[in-house]
Chains A and B, each alone.
Chain A
Amino acid sequence: MITIKNLTKIYDKGRTVALRNIDLDIEDTEFVSIMGTSGSGKSTLLNMIGGLDVPNEGTIEVMGENLSKIKLSNYRRETLGFVFQLHNLIPNLTCLENIELPLFGNSNSSSQMKDKAMNLLRAVDLDEFANKHPKYLSGGEMQRVAIARALVNNPKVILADEPTGQLDSENSEMIMDLLEEKQKETNATLIVVTHDFEIAKRADKIIKIRDGQIES
């Protein structure tokens, strides 16, 4: 369960309030979408939950652990899987190597790492691209590799920041189907940030954010 209490984030030395006194509870295995216009604070909220940024005030607890009191790199590696809008694959590494990246730091041997990454590439139907670099893939295929990378550590929470933002409707549908399928398979909590209502309505719960505050 994710519990957020009185979360506030201020940028530019107090000039911009990105989030204001956010209180939110997200159940385990729930699929939640966060909607809002550009600059409403939805990505900032996701970054806070993902430990990519720290709040000025308030607390975030993920499965009983207060994020301000744990080592964030371990939390990001062991608990989270992050999917970004711009896939953020490392261009100099092959698809397989990109998927292996989060496994560094775990007690896996090289062959175990390769097997795990390969299984996930098969799961997203891209095993033939294992040794190809991301530049040879289409936008949808790159996003599928990014999803495989996010899932490689069997995360308990999957965070996706506008995962379909750069894709056409057909690819968007496919990516969301894949994310939902993997969430159900792994019983993970899925939080998707989007401004597209078609994507948002697939979720169990829709949270609307406006000017840094939860609307509904």
Chain B
Amino acid sequence: MALLFFSFALKNIFRNKWRSTFIILLLTIGIFALLISVTFNEVSENLVDNLNESMMSNSFGNENFSALLENYSNSSSAANLYYNNSDSFNTSSFNMSNIEDFKNDMTKGIKTLSFYMTAFLVLIGALLMMIVMLKAVGERTREIGVLKSIGWTNFRVAALILLESIFQLLISWIVVIVLLLIFYLLNGHAMSEVFNTFHITKFIVERIFTITFLTSLFIPIIGTIIPLLKAFRIKPSEAMRYE
């Protein structure tokens, strides 16, 4: 009987709820893509910052750079010009550090803003999923009334509808993972290069998956539970009059 129950849930998704499943799939992909793009952006910015910093700190200590300077000092007047103007350089270095501080503050501000914007967009995506679920379950109030009128308990109705919602979310997740696998199979080598270059660690990937999973699972489930609770409170005779 449990098997029949599962098959009812799956059939209902493919016969009736494929539109909402498709919307949820698109939103899941959207959230996932947004998090990936933000993470890559953040990681690449950090990488560029690190490179800049190391270049700045090593500009006069770096062996290659010193060697380069030595060559210049021996062969041209450029080095003389540099050494002669060293006082003026020291004076301007004060201004440079101010500019650096300002730049760092700006970068920090933009990063914070970017974090909140991303969080906001992810939340909007999850809320859209919730609305899709709210509408999909709300439309079934009459059906819930019919099921209750033929002897189904609230628990059994909730099990069927929650099962359908979980299946819908799982379908979205399976499609996302399959798409990623296909992409990896086609571009595996290039992706490994990207991962190595940008220092994308297992932790970062896990973080993206966890945030997407939590937002695209729990918030839509809340969107399923709210109309369910409402449908349970009303009597079957009222639910069946629902249009």
Contacts and interface: CB of A to CB of B under 8 A. Distances in A.
Contacts of A73: 148, 151-154
A200 B153 CA distance: 33
A113 interface: yes
Interface string A153-173: 100000000000000000000
Contacts of B156: 104-105
Interface in A76-111: 76-78, 80, 82, 84, 88, 90-93, 97, 100-102, 104-105, 108-110
Contacts of B16: 91-92
Contacts of A77: 150-152
B15 to A, nearest CB: 4
A52 B235 CA distance: 6
B-side binding surface: helix, strand, loop or mixed? helix
Interface residues of B, number: 26
A177 to B, nearest CB: 23
Contacts of B4: 100, 104, 110, 113
A107 B5 CA distance: 14
B8 A149 contact: no
Given A52-B236, A100-B4, A110-B1, A105 B12 contact: no
A104 B142 CA distance: 19
Contacts of A50: 149
A101 B146 CA distance: 10
B66 interface: no
Interface in A12-39: none
A53 interface: yes
Given A73-B148, A110-B4, A88 B11 contact: no
A78 to B, nearest CB: 7
B152 A104 contact: yes
A188 to B, nearest CB: 16
B143 A105 contact: no
Interface in B1-40: 1, 3-5, 8, 11-12, 15-16
A47 interface: yes
Contacts of A110: 1, 3-4
B149 A108 contact: no
B237 A108 contact: no
Contacts of A149: 150
A54 B5 contact: no
Contacts of B1: 104, 108-110, 113
A51 to B, nearest CB: 8
Interface in B97-139: none
22 contacts: A52-B148, A52-B149, A52-B237, A53-B237, A74-B151, A84-B149, A88-B142, A91-B16, A92-B16, A93-B12, A101-B147, A102-B150, A102-B151, A104-B1, A104-B4, A104-B152, A105-B152, A105-B156, A108-B1, A110-B4, A113-B4, A153-B151
